Amino acid sequence: MKIALLISGGGTTAARIIHECRAGGRLEGIEPVLVIASRPDAPGIQKVLAHGMTPSDVIVIERSKFPTPGTFGSAIMSECEKRGVEFIGQYGWMVKTPANVIERYNGMMTNQHPGPLDVGREDFGGAGMFGLRVHAARLLFVERTSRDYWSEATAQRVEVEFDKGAVIKSKQVPIIPGDTPEDLAQRMLPIEHEVQIEVLSDFLHNRVHEIHREIPLITSEEESILEECKREAIQKYPNG
């Protein structure tokens, strides 16, 4: 299975996946053929090169260089099609993926999210919820509701709206008294890596299944608390 990895930041997940695709790794049978960075200064570019990606297959495609989402999407698809990409993974990809890309790779695109999701109901996703903001919002919410002392690393399908794709794998990480968003992010990251690696293995072996919560993550009485926590998290971490 030939895959493209989309990154915007540090690229730690992408680098770990590339490592696991090499001989002896857990993802033998998967070939990373393309890394697309959304900005030229993304630190992940050097990481994936250090893990063996060919320079010609690590490219930058900036949204600001294109007049419309469709032309941006066409540029992404063109590079994917040149290399026979069958699957696209978003690993810290901070740009809204154009609808034409999602349609072309329908069912074969996943997104990495660092918090609990409950698709179709209130959760810790959506516009503006990324990076340390997610961890900050989760910690504030747990503190104010005094329940569910955990957060969650998530893999989901990609849809046009942010974080509305079905969850296909998740793993909980305990929240420890005194945790800061930075503490939780550091403890969460290796679990995020594991979730994304397992999802790729599931795609390779045709064992992907969607996960639906029987009990809502957020009760109706807690929705206003959640919104307040999200607003405070965005204010505290204006750059995510």
| Dist. CA 136–CA 153, nearest whole Å | 14
Crossing angle of helices 223-236/132-145, nearest 10°?
140
Identify the pLDDT of residue 104: 97
The torsion angles phi and psi of 151, rounded to 5 degrees, stand at -125, -170
pTM, full prediction = 0.95
| Dist. CA 171–CA 93, nearest whole Å | 20
Which residue ranges of the chain lie beneath pLDDT 70? none
Query: What are the domain boundaries of the chain?
Result: 1-106, 114-240
Instruction: Tell the CATH superfamily of the 1-106 domain.
Output: Formyl transferase, N-terminal domain (3.40.50.170)
**118-157 confidence digits (pLDDT tens):** 999 999 999 999 999 999 999 999 999 999 999 999 999 9
**26-56 confidence digits (pLDDT tens):** 999 999 999 999 999 999 999 999 999 999 9
